[in-house]
Amino acid sequence: MYSSFIFASNHREYFLTLALFLQKWDAPIGSAAFQRGIATNAAQQKLWRIILLIVISSGIISCLISAQAQTWWNKYGGEINVEISHLINQTERSLIIVDRKPTYIIPTSYSLAPNTQLLFVTQVRNIKIPNNISNIFLMNPTTQLRDELRQQNYQSIPIAKYDSSGMFQGMELWKAKTIN
């Protein structure tokens, strides 16, 4: 019997073997043990349905709350991104220059004002800043970028430094101002 249960060749044979296996181990249908089993199973089923409903409802409520939040425990570095975007959004016609990997600015870019421009620089030489920009920010600038801007008559001033761990470790926001 067990060998045919395990090695059933098609679905019909599988279900027939399963039915025979279950029938062999269950109490007869009309017996008191069978009736108690149904009552216990119905109560257990109701309990498990209630538990399942609570778990699914809790998951849905948690997803709705975390989706609405700007920062959450699983949104790594979210509070830093919100603070940086808040500092930049207070200004008008802003440009953010990034000369490192864009992984630092991409999470922040979602909460930036639409008129904020991003400039990703691969080579620090001869950076061309558009004329309509009034505020220039540097995200984690290298000394080469700051030196290049100094040659173009810009002074780099640190605004904020974040000493968190992980991806945002040592994150810095600088502002470049023209030297008169």
How would you write the pLDDT of the chain (180 residues) with one tens digit per residue?
444 444 444 555 555 555 555 554 455 555 665 555 555 677 788 888 899 999 999 999 988 888 887 776 666 666 777 788 888 888 888 899 988 777 777 778 888 888 888 888 888 788 888 888 889 999 888 889 898 889 888 888 888 877 655 555 567 888 988 887
Q: Show me where the domains of the chain are located.
A: 2-68, 78-178
pTM of full prediction above 0.75:
no
Distance CA 74, CA 135 (A): 32
The count of other CB atoms within 10 Å of the CB of residue 103 is 10
The domain over range 78-178 is classified in CATH as 3.40.1010: yes
Rounded to a whole number of angstroms, the CA Rg of the chain reads 32
